[in-house]
Amino acid sequence: MTRILRILSIIIGVFLGITAVNWMFNPSNAAMNLGMELLTGMGRNTQIGDMTAFFTTGSLFILLGVFKNRPDFLVVPAFLMVSAAFFRLTSGAFYDSDIVVEAVIFEVLSALILFSYSRKI
């Protein structure tokens, strides 16, 4: 089971890393992949900067946690994922935004995998 959690954690880390690179070098495509429009002006700067930071931090800490056997490093992106899922749901509840169910499921499952693997190492 530990091996499976390790492999799944690596896959999540690589996926987040690819997404970060996509935000940095092809932001219009990255936005489209997440069902967003690429904003303009200061909004674009914030959107690209924040999204790249989110995915880079998640990827970096997952991969460092896996390859350095540092469970504390895995907890950081796990909380990042749980927070994203929570705020997606609150956004839908309080601000009449569409809830992207697939994203919430991915974030919750990813967090569960990362929390579980952090407990195994």
pTM of the model: 0.93
pLDDT tens-digit series, residues 9-21: 999 999 999 999 9
pLDDT at 19: 98
pLDDT tens-digit series, residues 34-89: 999 999 999 999 999 999 999 999 999 999 999 999 999 999 999 999 999 999 99
Q: Which DSSP string corresponds to 28-95? A: HHHHHHTT-----HHHHHHHHHHHHHHHHHHHHHHHHHHHTT-HHHHHHHHHHHHHHHHHHHHHHHHH
Domain ranges of the chain: 2-120
How many whole angstroms from its chain centre is CA 119? 20
pLDDT at 70: 97
pLDDT tens-digit series, residues 107-120: 999 999 999 999 99
CB 71 within 8 A of CB 119: yes
Taking the C-alpha atoms of residue 12 and residue 44, their distance in angstroms, rounded to an integer, is: 26
Taking the C-alpha atoms of residue 65 and residue 84, their distance in angstroms, rounded to an integer, is: 20
CB 27 within 8 A of CB 48: yes
Cα-atom radius of gyration of the chain, to the nearest Å? 15
pLDDT tens-digit series, residues 84-110: 999 999 999 999 999 999 999 999 999
Taking the C-alpha atoms of residue 33 and residue 121, their distance in angstroms, rounded to an integer, is: 33
pLDDT at 118: 98
pLDDT at 75: 97
